[in-house]
């Protein structure tokens, strides 16, 4: 087992001041557990999530949706998030699919959207690194600007702030995507990371360990290389 975290962060806003889409970071704690300081920082963001959940309930109620935070927390417990809201909306007949729940109510631009405080992207990289983890940019295929030049520019900035890895293998990466990210990882001397992004019932098309229709295969050697690479960087 490897202690890890997926962080939702926000990049710098565009010139028009609009809210940019989230960018996800992976943090792998390969040598020792996360520091107490990092855990305390994460706790603060969990508190922010709980406040967002209360506001989301209020907004859904204002739209005529009869839903309580207590029934959502039965599913999500101490890490209740929007996927758990989607399940309750589906169960109560307000939507026909989880995706409809997000499109209609829960997505950033949907009718019940509530902004949640998220760390800045660069801060997220620094916090993971300072907390004893290995930060890796998650599923770059989801970035709003994912051409080679834009990715290279972003990676240079993040590397200057402690980025050590790039998620090369992912259930949403096609062969051309994987080839590009392998090249970028080699160009910038980043460690390759990978995973299926399995989220249980929230992503029914993705299977644990194999991805979509067995399109992901991450050998144990990938983890060994991550551990070796982090150790070598620490020795510099």
- Are the C-beta atoms of 161 and 122 separated by less than 8 Å? yes
Share of residues in the chain with pLDDT > 70 (%): 100
Secondary structure string (H, E, C) spanning 38-68? HHHHHHHHHHHHHHHHHHHHHHHHHCCCCCC
Average pLDDT of the segment spanning 14-28: 84
Q: How much of the chain is helix, strand and coil, in % rounded to 5?
A: 50, 15, 40
pLDDT (tens digit, 9 = 90+) per residue, 95-111? 999 889 999 999 888 99
pTM, two decimals, is 0.87
pLDDT surpasses 90 at 204: no
In this predicted model, what pLDDT tens digit does every residue of 146-189 receive, in sequence order? Answer: 899 999 999 999 999 999 999 999 999 999 999 999 999 999 99
3-34+119-235 and 42-106 agree in CATH topology? no
> Is residue 19 over pLDDT 80?
no
The 3-class secondary structure across 90-115, one letter per residue, is: HHCCCCCCHHHHHHHHHCCCCCCCCC
Show me where the domains of the chain are located: 3-34+119-235, 42-106
Note the pLDDT of residue 236. Answer: 79
196 burial level (CB within 10 Å; 0-12, 13-18, 19+): buried
CA distance 188 to 3: 25
pLDDT tens string 216-235 = 999 999 999 999 999 999 88
Confidence of residue 118 (pLDDT cuts 50, 70, 90): confident
Overall residue count recorded for the chain in this entry: 236
pLDDT of 190 strictly over 90: yes
Candidates 3.90.1150.10, 3.50.50.60, 3.20.20.140, 2.30.40.10; CATH matching 3-34+119-235: 3.20.20.140
For domain 42-106, give the CATH number: 1.10.150
Q: What is the mean pLDDT of residues 134-146?
A: 94
Beta bridge partners of 141: none
């Amino acid at each position: 087992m490897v202690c890890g975290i997926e962080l939702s962060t926000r990049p710098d806003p565009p010139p028009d001041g609009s809210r940019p889409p989230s960018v996800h970071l992976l943090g792998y704690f390969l040598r020792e557990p996360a520091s107490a300081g990092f855990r305390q920082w994460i706790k603060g963001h969990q508190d922010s999530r709980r406040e967002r959940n209360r506001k989301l309930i209020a907004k859904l109620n204002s739209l005529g949706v009869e839903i309580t935070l207590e029934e959502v927390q039965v599913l999500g417990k101490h890490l209740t998030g929007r996927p758990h809201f989607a399940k309750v909306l589906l169960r109560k007949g307000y939507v026909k699919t989880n995706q409809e729940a997000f499109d209609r109510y829960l997505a950033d631009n949907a009718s019940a959207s509530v902004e949640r405080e998220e760390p800045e992207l660069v801060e997220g990289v620094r916090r993971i690194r300072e907390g004893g983890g290995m930060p890796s940019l998650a599923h770059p295929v989801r970035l709003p600007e994912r051409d080679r030049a834009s990715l290279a520019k972003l990676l240079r900035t993040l590397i200057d702030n402690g980025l050590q890895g790039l998620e090369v293998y992912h259930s949403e990466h096609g062969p051309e995507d994987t080839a590009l990210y392998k090249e970028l990882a080699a160009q910038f001397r980043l460690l390759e990371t990978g995973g299926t992004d399995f989220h249980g019932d929230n992503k029914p098309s993705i299977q644990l360990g194999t991805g979509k229709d067995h399109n992901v295969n991450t050998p144990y050697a990938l983890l060994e290389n991550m551990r070796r690479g982090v150790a070598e960087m620490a020795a510099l």
